[in-house]
Copies of this chain bind each other. A is one copy, B any other.
Amino acid sequence: MAVVPILSDKAAGADALAVFDDIRAKRNTDYVNNFWRALAADPALLRATWERLQVVMGPGHLDPLVKEMIYIAVSVTNGCSYCIHSHTAAARAKGMTDAQQGELMAVIAMATQTNALATALQVPVDDRFTVTGEGPTDDTP
């Protein structure tokens, strides 16, 4: 169904293969999933995406499972079937329980419906929800 080939290790060029190898090493698995193999036709885009993903999803101020749940929320809202599958699997691997998944579903469903209502009614933002002292718009620095 892809609009590009999903490159096997043999079909991938040396630059792409180096990224595949890095994925295997960092994830401690032999498996490289289709997303990366689809990007492999453009090794520069493949590498930039993989490098950035590690920075963003790596250790920081949010729990790794929380990051996966946020990723799922965005992917659901964007309707990305591939990403919903891959990040639900990742969240499961990081310990997401059935109960947590159920709550994640409930929050997504709630948010999406109040989003629709606020948009449908074009509700004006309350003054207290905006940040004051916004600063420059076309002013000198």
Chain A contact residues, CB within 8 Å of chain B: 1-11, 20, 30-35, 37-39, 41-42, 44-45, 48-49, 52-53, 55-57, 60-62, 66-67, 69-89, 97-131, 133-141
Contact = CB atoms under 8 A, between A and B. Distances in A.
A117 B111 contact: no
Given A102-B41, A126-B34, A8 B78 contact: no
Contact of A34 (B3, B89, B124, B140): B124
Number of copies of chain A assembled together:
6
A30 B6 CA distance: 30
B52 A48 contact: yes
B33 A126 contact: yes
Given A1-B124, A3-B88, A6-B136, A115 B56 contact: no
A106 B127 CA distance: 27
Contact of A128 (B89, B109, B120, B125): B89
Contacts of A110: 52-53, 56-57, 71, 113
Contacts of A66: 66, 69
Given A5-B134, A62-B104, A73-B73, A116 B125 contact: no
